[in-house]
Chain A
Amino acid sequence: MIGSRAALVGIGATEFSKRSGRSELQLAAEAVFKALDDAGLAPSEVDGMVTYTQDTNQEISVARETGIGELSFFSRVHYGGGAACATVLQAAMAVATGAASTVVCYRAFNERSGRRFGQPDARLGGEPSSQGMEMSWHVPYGLMTPAAWVAMFARRYMHAYGARSEDFGRVAVAMRRHAATNPAAWFYERPITLAEHQASKWIVEPLHLLDCCQESDGAVALVVTSVERARDLRRVPVVVAAAAQGAGAEQMMMTSYYRDDMTGLPEMSVVGRKLWEQSGMSPADIQTAILYDHFTPFVLSQLEELGFCGRGEARDFVADGGIEIDGRLPVNPHGGQLGEAYIHGMNGIAEGVRQIRGTAVNQVPGTRNVLVTAGTGVPTSGLILTG
């Protein structure tokens, strides 16, 4: 079992901005230094590195910049933001098997000032790779942005369960409320109202602008080592109680429209089942959840897939501040990607660590176990962190 063999002992991040003014490699290096300093470890103690296939910074480049020497383990995870928690899974597996002793996971990009994922790219459908062939059934019709791919699911979800745009809006309002008191958040001191959500322009109906997360420049790095080694380090160890990846049957990158049911996230259900099984926990054991929020509708689906509420009931769950700090399940106390920054889910893992340490700016009292998820609508991953 992977559970409780590894711990997160360091977290680091750059500032979150719209224009970092420096290369993606520099961002990666800065975040790695901060994470190692946080852990109290020297670069020379790192022997493993994990990142996303989408990251433009090779592991060896980051190692070279930061003075990390020899590596005995390096690995990358595919499927966009679905890789976030899986980087920690990879690191934990490396630590548990002895492939490496201390592993750095990182994600660094100029996603706002450089290549923006939300912009249509006509080349998406042109590649005769298996992913290009998948895209070719969608891109020629202009169905080619993440917002559009998600909106297609959202419309069916609304139809099936009577959810309304306002239900999605409540997620955005909660995230922005959290970000408003987080000085690291781009939307610090800038909460929104449901009326503003409703008045914001259409991106892709049924999604308004304020249903879509921001675009950010920045980097986050995490340090993973064994639970035994963690006890000797300066920080309270944050134990990886469970870590899992998930892909569903008939899975596509972001256009799994050909399954019987289009209202759920079966890939997240796989992750959830694995997490509960590995940790021996159930939703009632979770005090804080970090749910991937690149678009609001999938926050509702995740609550359902992970068992926090029944199918179609998430809109009642998020009503009346249900996912706010003093709600029935505080979600993304840092403000999530809608409020803090879009670092492809890695900033959420860092927040999970802070919640367990008790050092978060919006600390949820009594947090012992945090569930963290990665990209939605894509093959994904998840973690349960514990003190």
Chain B
Amino acid sequence: MRTVSEDQLAVGTTLPELSVELTPTMIVSTALSTMDFTPVHHDVDRARAQGSTDIFLNILTTMGLVERYVTDWAGPEVLIRGINVKLGVPGYAGDTMTFTGSVLSERAGEFTVEVRGRVSLGDHVVGTVRFAIPVEFG
């Protein structure tokens, strides 16, 4: 594993797609690993009672997956500086989330990648991740 070099980060470069199966196990285990015990993330009956079709992904997991999508591509040692997202439709159990992204800009050594996570209902998450390349790799 290595960290991507700056010349592989031209503005406009697209990231390889990543698909994540939103199995019930995945939804529940990520919710609990983020210490989120809200019933809609693990209890189907409670989720349906409040109008959802199934249990769905919690936001702390969305943030974690967005981060993972970028570091999977950019390498383990890039320095994540920030993640800004707008949240859209829910990521329900049984759906698949497909991440796409591209390098949006670079300013003063900090790169911004645009990330979109799409499920069958539409965009679950759209946002940007900012990161820097550690100096010794630059």
Contacts and interface: CB of A to CB of B under 8 A. Distances in A.
Interface in A186-213: 189-191, 193, 195-196, 199, 201
Residue of B12, B14, B114, B123 with highest tally of chain A CB at under 10 A: B12
A195 B101 CA distance: 11
B104 A196 contact: yes
A201 B122 CA distance: 11
Contact of A195 (B14, B105, B107, B123): B14
B14 to A, nearest CB: 7
Contacts of B107: 189
Contacts of A199: 14, 100, 102
Contacts of A195: 12, 14, 102
Contacts of B11: 191, 193
B112 to A, nearest CB: 10
Contacts of A189: 105, 107
Nearest to A195: B12
A199 B123 CA distance: 14
Contacts of A201: 123, 126
A193 B105 contact: no
A248 B126 CA distance: 42
A183 to B, nearest CB: 14
Contact of A190 (B14, B102, B105, B126): B105
Nearest to B13: A195
A191 B12 CA distance: 10
Nearest to A190: B105
Residue of A191, A199, A201 with highest tally of chain B CB at under 10 A: A199
Nearest to A180: B105
A189 to B, nearest CB: 7
Contacts of B114: 196
Nearest to B112: A190
B79 to A, nearest CB: 22
Interface string B106-119: 01000000100000
A201 B100 CA distance: 12
A196 B114 CA distance: 10
B60 to A, nearest CB: 25
A190 to B, nearest CB: 6
Contacts of A191: 11
Interface in A159-198: 189-191, 193, 195-196
Contacts of A193: 11-12
Interface in A314-367: none
A287 to B, nearest CB: 30
A11 to B, nearest CB: 30
B98 to A, nearest CB: 14
Nearest to B123: A201
Contacts of B100: 199
A190 B105 CA distance: 7
Contacts of B102: 195-196, 199
A195 B104 CA distance: 11
B121 to A, nearest CB: 15
Q: Which 6 A-B pairs have the closest CB atoms?
A: A193-B12, A195-B12, A190-B105, A196-B12, A199-B102, A196-B102
8 contacts: A189-B107, A190-B105, A193-B12, A195-B14, A196-B12, A199-B100, A201-B123, A201-B126
Given A199-B14, A199-B100, A201-B123, 7 more contacts: A189-B105, A190-B105, A195-B12, A195-B102, A196-B102, A196-B114, A201-B126
